[in-house]
Chains A and B, each alone.
Chain A
């Protein structure tokens, strides 16, 4: 119970610092988004009109007041107003989320399947050379730029093999290549961790005992090795989710999909600070929540840890 309270407190502190840091960085420093947007001579706005607009966005009050105002807004789920679109950030993100969730969800799923397949095949496949090739694949995957991977997949599958149409694809077809683009780099660190922990578990004494008792390779693998080897992989779930968000920005840009990633890219291009801050804080929130969940679930999955925690 004390552990739960401490971890939750830590998570809240991280979020509070993240919020304060992004606020200081993005809002209190020069490069005021409102000035950039409305001060251009083409609009022909008088200084008084600009002052009115600033007042409407709440940008004319002292920084501390702005900070409290923004903080209370965030706590109530109000992320301010996008300077670029003139709509509330919450609506903007809400309308983009349905486009990104299937991409991110499927990308994560495919990444996990790919990583598990790679990890197990690289310890089980026949022929040493094949195992070595499979072992080397993840380090190639992490070295590939996501945007380039997307372009190459379009080239191969759309233009060379003509398997996936570029124009007039139905929603499912339009998801295939982006999901692959997102999944391949994310599967790499997972596959590496899995392969390493499979190696470790296979050398541990209890596996030798199970083998000595006459268990076949399939039983040893699925009942004894797999269950123990999959555990450490859960610990990097938070990091993978973060990678997923970064990957979505690039993937959506390459494939011209509307979504959170696209909004992020547009926000940076137009210095739409409120939008970027909301997305950064939401990403940090997801990361913190996932890690908190992992920390709480792990002792349940692995009772050895619970006993250790109690002993300590």
Chain B
């Protein structure tokens, strides 16, 4: 009984609006209603895209943005001095006046963490740049020239992979000496192998594509084809890896800082901050726990972002 009733109702109610809205749009003369829809289009699409972004990813970008702001304009986030303290206020727990508490000579820990961001971030930036430049160069050479070059480069990469990251970094530090930049370079050399492998496999993949063959066929030289066609198309995977290595570099640099091979005191580098707080674990938990949580948050965010970059590929 219900089915014959249903059909006329649907035909009456649904058909006319669709006809009005779609048909004029198709022949190009856009009436006012369709214009409104078109104008709402980009905004609606943007809103939809925003809603489809997972909240965790938004949070990750937010964390990275805040930390970059700490590195660029630390004085906007805190009015206190990172190096000189107020001895009368030493070893106070977290409070409104001192968000992260104070250390053994009365320095505000939150201020030191904020001012430390520039050391950790620039260190990680140097490390990723070293790894990206060295690794991509090796990988692209191996992938595009092939043959003996490929074999030699990949054996070198095997060697870099065979030595545990920390030991490799320590070997380079013993060579270059202690310091923030040296520690960063040491960490960067450790990531060359990963960049070389990814960029090589990407170049090999892209080289087999038809458009690259076409570029060669229409008289393109190797270097020109590499720069114009192969590199841009190999970049996405490398960028995803760079984000991942950024988080790993922050971890590794803080480890070297903790061991005392990075920045000298009183630099508020994050690893060094935790090392200094170590003598007060029994009484002042905030000196180690809070800077460590900041490191965890930053690394977690970098990893989350790298995961999202990998997925868009």
Residues of A within 8 A of B (CB): 10, 13-15, 17-18, 21-22, 25-26, 29, 31, 139-140, 142-148, 151-152, 154-155, 159, 242-243, 245-246, 249-250, 253-254, 264-265, 267-269, 271, 273, 276, 279-280, 283-284, 287-288
Are B164 and A264 in contact (CB-based, < 8 A)?
Answer: no
A-B contact pairs, 5 of them (CB 8 A): A142-B303, A143-B296, A159-B281, A268-B170, A268-B174
CB distance from B246 to the nearest CB of A (A): 12
Closest partner residue, chain B, to A245 (CB atom): B164
Cβ proximity bits B241-283 to A, threshold 8 Å, 1 near / 0 not: 0000001000100110011110000000001001100100110
Q: How far apart sit A287 and B155, CA to CA, in the bound complex (Å)?
A: 15
Are A276 and B164 in contact (CB-based, < 8 A)?
Answer: no
Chain A residues with CB below 8 A from B171, complex form:
22, 25-26, 276, 280
Are B261 and A287 in contact (CB-based, < 8 A)?
Answer: no
For the residues of B in contact with A, the DSSP-based class is helix
Q: How far apart sit A283 and B162, CA to CA, in the bound complex (Å)?
A: 8
* Chain B residues with a Cβ closer than 8 Å to the other chain, count: 43
CB distance from A15 to the nearest CB of B (A): 8
Are A143 and B162 in contact (CB-based, < 8 A)?
Answer: no
> Which of B162, B251, B299 makes the CB contact (< 8 A) with A288?
B162
Closest partner residue, chain A, to B176 (CB atom): A31
Q: Quick one: which of B141-178 are within 8 Å of A by CB?
A: 155-156, 158-159, 161-168, 170-175, 177
Chain A residues with CB below 8 A from B289, complex form:
152, 155
Q: How far apart sit A159 and B247, CA to CA, in the bound complex (Å)?
A: 31
The answer to the question of B310 belonging to the interface, with a C-beta cut-off of 8 Å to chain A, is no
Q: Which 5 A-B pairs have the closest CB atoms?
A: A246-B166, A242-B164, A148-B292, A143-B299, A143-B300
Q: How far apart sit A285 and B156, CA to CA, in the bound complex (Å)?
A: 15
Q: How far apart sit A276 and B175, CA to CA, in the bound complex (Å)?
A: 11
Residues of B within 8 A of A (CB): 155-156, 158-159, 161-168, 170-175, 177, 247, 251, 254-255, 258-261, 271, 274-275, 278, 281-282, 285, 288-289, 292, 295-296, 299-300, 303-304
Q: Which of B170, B261, B285 has the most CB of A within 10 A?
A: B170
For the residues of A in contact with B, the DSSP-based class is helix
> Which of A152, A155, A249, A280 makes the CB contact (< 8 A) with B163?
A280
Are B285 and A155 in contact (CB-based, < 8 A)?
Answer: yes
Q: How far apart sit A142 and B258, CA to CA, in the bound complex (Å)?
A: 18
Chain A residues with CB below 8 A from B300, complex form:
139-140, 143
Closest partner residue, chain A, to B287 (CB atom): A151
Chain B residues with CB below 8 A from A283, complex form:
162-164, 167
Are B255 and A268 in contact (CB-based, < 8 A)?
Answer: no
Are B259 and A265 in contact (CB-based, < 8 A)?
Answer: yes
Q: How far apart sit A249 and B168, CA to CA, in the bound complex (Å)?
A: 12
Q: How far apart sit A145 and B274, CA to CA, in the bound complex (Å)?
A: 10
Q: Which of A148, A250, A253, A273 has the most CB of B within 10 A?
A: A148
Are A145 and B255 in contact (CB-based, < 8 A)?
Answer: yes
Closest partner residue, chain A, to B301 (CB atom): A143
Q: How far apart sit A145 and B297, CA to CA, in the bound complex (Å)?
A: 11
Are B247 and A25 in contact (CB-based, < 8 A)?
Answer: no
Are B274 and A250 in contact (CB-based, < 8 A)?
Answer: no
Are A148 and B288 in contact (CB-based, < 8 A)?
Answer: yes
Are A14 and B292 in contact (CB-based, < 8 A)?
Answer: no
Chain A residues with CB below 8 A from B282, complex form:
159
Are B247 and A143 in contact (CB-based, < 8 A)?
Answer: yes
> Which of A18, A26, A31, A253 makes the CB contact (< 8 A) with B162?
A18
Are A276 and B170 in contact (CB-based, < 8 A)?
Answer: yes
Q: How far apart sit A35 and B61, CA to CA, in the bound complex (Å)?
A: 50
Closest partner residue, chain A, to B165 (CB atom): A246
Chain B residues with CB below 8 A from A268, complex form:
170, 173-174, 259, 261
Chain A residues with CB below 8 A from B251, complex form:
143, 145
> Which of B162, B163, B254, B285 makes the CB contact (< 8 A) with A145?
B254
Question: A246-B165, A287-B164 are known contacts; what are 11 more A-B pairs with Cβ within 8 Å?
Answer: A15-B162, A17-B159, A21-B159, A143-B300, A147-B274, A159-B281, A249-B170, A268-B259, A280-B163, A284-B162, A288-B162
Chain B residues with CB below 8 A from A144, complex form:
292, 296, 299
CB distance from B15 to the nearest CB of A (A): 42
Closest partner residue, chain A, to B288 (CB atom): A151
Are B260 and A269 in contact (CB-based, < 8 A)?
Answer: yes
CB distance from B104 to the nearest CB of A (A): 16
Q: How far apart sit A119 and B264, CA to CA, in the bound complex (Å)?
A: 41
Q: Which of B163, B164, B260 has the most CB of A within 10 A?
A: B164
Chain A residues with CB below 8 A from B175, complex form:
25-26, 29, 31
CB distance from B192 to the nearest CB of A (A): 13
Q: How far apart sit A117 and B292, CA to CA, in the bound complex (Å)?
A: 26
Chain B residues with CB below 8 A from A159, complex form:
281-282
Q: How far apart sit A67 and B255, CA to CA, in the bound complex (Å)?
A: 32
Chain A residues with CB below 8 A from B304, complex form:
139
Chain B residues with CB below 8 A from A273, complex form:
174
Q: How far apart sit A269 and B296, CA to CA, in the bound complex (Å)?
A: 27
Chain B residues with CB below 8 A from A29, complex form:
175
Closest partner residue, chain B, to A241 (CB atom): B164
Chain B residues with CB below 8 A from A26, complex form:
171, 174-175
Are A143 and B303 in contact (CB-based, < 8 A)?
Answer: yes
CB distance from A310 to the nearest CB of B (A): 25
